[in-house]
Amino acid sequence: MNPQFESIIDGVLVEGYGVVDDFLSHDEVIALANRLHERRQAGQFKAAGIGNQQITVENTIRGDEILWLDHDTATPEEAAFLDRIGEFVDYVNRTCYLGLRDFEFHYALYPPGTFYKRHLDQFRSDSRRKLSVICYLNTDWKEEDGGQLAVFLPGETTDATEREITIQPLGGRLVCFESGRLEHEVRPASRERLSITGWLKTE
Ligand SMILES: O=C(O)CCC(=O)C(=O)O
Ligand SMILES: [Fe+2]
């Protein structure tokens, strides 16, 4: 049994979302943030799109730049990250029977002042995204830096009002929730905000 994996799954099942700190060590956060910056400097990042084919770039909805991770071109720290996610997928499949088959992850960089408006991660024609996973790569993040992830939890009964929780994008922290169920948004930050975001998918 892996206590971190267990705590993520427990959070998702009980609260609708799971948060664990130190999913990545301080050294891993620094190394991945460095790789992110090197790849961005090398011109590998693109403005993120919206919709299925990611063709529409609309910075009034989201202002982040992304780069998809690829096992074939991964650096050792990127490969280690993807391997750990693979272990989590195996763990989820052994304990929850979600039938996860695949995953996809991208780096994301939100320049100061950018945001991602309230949305759901599952598109109408892509219901394969089951779980959304976000890992933050920010060192020394302070509350006044902004950049919180707000998650909207639906009321338990039809007339119950939704509840909003906010999560600070602290380096090493992992957040996980059901892609088709929870709407969420990224608030603007006063400094660059770094993460690796991805989806665990069924076939
Ligand atoms: O970075 C975050 O906190 C959330 C990112 C997000 O919602 C997305 O990329 O779909
Ligand atoms: Fe999202």
Which among 2, 182, 10, 173 has a CA at the least distance from the CA of 96?
10
Whether ligand 1 lies within 6 angstroms of the CB of 116 is answered as yes
Pick from 110, 133, 174, 186 the residue to mutate for probing ligand 1's pocket: most ligand atoms within 8 Å of its CB.
Answer: 186
| Cα distance between residue 103 and residue 123, in whole Å | 16
Q: What is the CATH number of the domain that holds 147?
A: 2.60.120.620
Which residue range(s) make up the domain with 98? 3-201
Ligand 1 centroid distance, CA of 184 (Å): 8
Nearest CA to ligand 1 atom 10: 121
| Cα distance between residue 122 and residue 106, in whole Å | 16
Q: What does the pLDDT read at residue 48?
A: 86
- Judged by its nearest atom, the ligand closest to the C-alpha of residue 186 is 1
Ligand 1 centroid distance, CA of 133 (Å): 9
Whether ligand 1 lies within 6 angstroms of the CB of 149 is answered as yes
Q: What does the pLDDT read at residue 115?
A: 96
Which among 143, 145, 148 has a CA at the least distance from the CA of 164?
148
Whether ligand 1 lies within 6 angstroms of the CB of 199 is answered as no
Nearest CA to ligand 1 atom 3: 149
Tokens read off for 114 = 């950018």
Q: What does the pLDDT read at residue 46?
A: 93
Q: What does the pLDDT read at residue 125?
A: 56
Q: Which residue matches tokens 């989201």?
A: 62
Who's near 59: CB < 8 A, 6+ residues apart? 47, 114
Pick from 134, 183, 187, 195 the residue to mutate for probing ligand 1's pocket: most ligand atoms within 8 Å of its CB.
Answer: 134
| Cα distance between residue 137 and residue 157, in whole Å | 37
Ligand 1 centroid distance, CA of 110 (Å): 10
Ligand 2 centroid distance, CA of 184 (Å): 6
Tokens read off for 118 = 């309230």
Q: Which residue matches tokens 């790569």?
A: 137
Q: What does the pLDDT read at residue 57?
A: 62
When computed from its CA atoms, the radius of gyration of the chain, rounded to whole angstroms, is: 16
Q: What is the mean pLDDT, run by run of 10 residues, along the chain of 203 residues?
A: 94 95 98 98 89 62 95 97 97 90 96 96 78 97 98 85 95 96 96 97 88
Number of domains in the chain: 1
Produce one character per residue of 54-83: b if its CB has 16 or more CB atoms within 10 Å, e if not: eeeeeeebbbbbbbebeeeeeeebbeebbe
Whether ligand 1 lies within 6 angstroms of the CB of 186 is answered as yes
H helices then E strands: how many in the chain? 3, 11
